Amino acid sequence: MSLYQWFRRSAERVPEAVALEVGGESLTYRRLREVADGLAGRIHARVGRRPRAVGLLAARSLPAYAGYLAALRAGAVVVPLNPAFPAARNARLCRDAGVDALVVDAAGAAVAADVAGDAVTVRLDGPPPAAAPEPVVRPDDVAYLLFTSGSTGRPKGVPIRHRNVDAYLARCLSGYRVGPGDRLSQTFDLTFDPSVFDMFVAWGGGATLVVPQPDEVLTPVRFVNERRITHWFSVPSVVSLARRMRMLSPGAMPGLRHSLFAGEQLTVEQARAWAAAAPGSVVENLYGPTELTVTCTAHRLPADPATWPATSNGTVPIGDVHDDLDAILRAEDGTTGGDDGELCVRGPQCFAGYLDPADDEGRFVTHDGSRYYRTGDRVRREHGTLVHHGRLDDQVKLRGYRIELGEVEMVLRGHAGVQDAVVLALGAGDDVTLQAVYTGAAGIAAELSRRCADRLPGYMVPVRIHHVAALPTNGNGKTDRRRTAALVGDGTGGTRGER
């Protein structure tokens, strides 16, 4: 089925069930379908044909979710954007994606003029339209396009096709037994692919998608209880936040049935604290890059923590790949068959390639005549299942967001006063921060910070920028990141106090 058909099937089966709660509004499946179909008609009328791609310059609002469905109903590729991101970055993503129409909410409308380019802007409250023609959507058509951080200094577009999502949703709906009356959280921004699980596992099963506002995400226990959440999905950082606020007391969330975590390593300590607070909940650790359609592995923890596996790095296993996928572990020398190496995956959830084919270079490997996607993640088989042991490159994750340090470095090097720059992820656990070290003109840290803020999402902006006379190098003449980290690791290296 196409992504929209997953929603429409529930709208026909349980039209009076509540489909969406957002911003103080509650919409049944019947009403949400009417709103989305009407918006699809306005998009089609404004563009004058079937749109190629529809950008969503909206977040945690009815226009965001109705716009997502409307774009699919119109037969377009959905391109989620974030109004809080720099306008120049959003404008570039629109150009790269070929966006014809931009759906905006109040926040998006305020910056749309700097983002839209040649795309038409469409609001939810427009005039009554004629119905959009029913498009023919094929399995190989792209359903949505997400942009991840790119090591070349520009974001990489990841097109996910309807056939990729169809295979994923069928498995999720069966595994989590979602149905009318269930209430799923939506903690992830639409630019983050686990949001696809939240929306379409809920809508595919006839359940309710419950969208917290940003401040509600900061108090997860209160949100779960007050909004009667049955299925929770978030990054593990939320667990640490709730612990610091002393909210995870034993039995604090008695109504929760499923607790899913992804986007970062889930520590055993975090899992124990959450499981004690939600004693009736099944806790699962999920893993998967955007290129493999949300998540491709899962490890369900037993009810008794005494039986949990003790891994070598204190994290919960990510589990084996789904039954309909195939994986190999590739060692540094290219051999396979061992219990340690880079995770490479193929199967129906695997994307076909990046928006820019140049980004495909080095990301796939052929094994026994089949093409596998190279995740860049090192895993080790422990206790009969896979454990995540970090990256093989300079990519890091903060609060679940993928960050190529090279993209931040390219922004810094673009300043006339910078000769060279290195960005480091310093700290451990939930205290990791980005810090930059540069050579060149001293005293320009504030300018560099503004430059980053103007070009990058907030989570990619270094919290501290250090100036040094020269960057340490190794025996091959390359920048030695470990020695550079030691130089500034106390947070006061370089020109102390520069930022």
Chunk the chain into consecutive blocks of 10 residues (it has 499) and report each block's average pLDDT, rounded to whole numbers.
97 98 97 96 95 97 98 98 95 97 97 96 85 93 92 85 96 92 96 96 98 90 97 92 89 97 92 96 97 97 95 94 96 91 97 96 95 96 93 78 84 90 83 90 94 92 92 71 78 40
Of the candidates 258, 214, 215, 264, the one whose C-alpha atom is nearest the C-alpha of residue 235 is 264
Q: What local confidence, expressed as pLDDT, does residue 98 receive?
A: 98
Q: What local confidence, expressed as pLDDT, does residue 245 receive?
A: 85
Rounded Cα distance between 157 and 152, Å, is 13
Dihedral sign (CA 31, 75, 13, 284): negative
Domain 402-488 has CATH 3.30.300.30: yes
Of the candidates 170, 443, 219, the one whose C-alpha atom is nearest the C-alpha of residue 322 is 170
Domain with CATH 3.40.50.12780 in the chain: 3-307
Q: What local confidence, expressed as pLDDT, does residue 487 receive?
A: 81
Q: What local confidence, expressed as pLDDT, does residue 11 receive?
A: 98
- Tokens linked to 287: 């893993």
Indicate the SS3 state at residue 297. strand
- Tokens linked to 33: 């379908």
Q: What local confidence, expressed as pLDDT, does residue 151 receive?
A: 62
Indicate the SS3 state at residue 325. coil
Q: What local confidence, expressed as pLDDT, does residue 153 receive?
A: 67
Domain with CATH 3.30.300.30 in the chain: 402-488
Q: What local confidence, expressed as pLDDT, does residue 491 receive?
A: 45
Q: What local confidence, expressed as pLDDT, does residue 49 receive?
A: 95
Of the candidates 304, 285, 310, the one whose C-alpha atom is nearest the C-alpha of residue 383 is 310
208 φ, ψ (degrees, to nearest 5): -105, 130
Q: What local confidence, expressed as pLDDT, does residue 472 receive?
A: 85
CA dist 243 → 108, 172, 260, 303, 432 (Å): 34, 29, 17, 21, 17
Q: How many C-alpha atoms does 291 have within 13 Å on its Cβ side?
A: 23
Rounded Cα distance between 352 and 338, Å, is 27
Burial class (CB in 10 A: 0-12, 13-18, 19+), 117: middle
Neighbouring CB atoms inside 10 A of 222's CB total 16
Q: How far apart are the first and last CA of the chain?
A: 52
Assign domain 3-307 to its CATH superfamily.
Answer: ANL, N-terminal domain (3.40.50.12780)
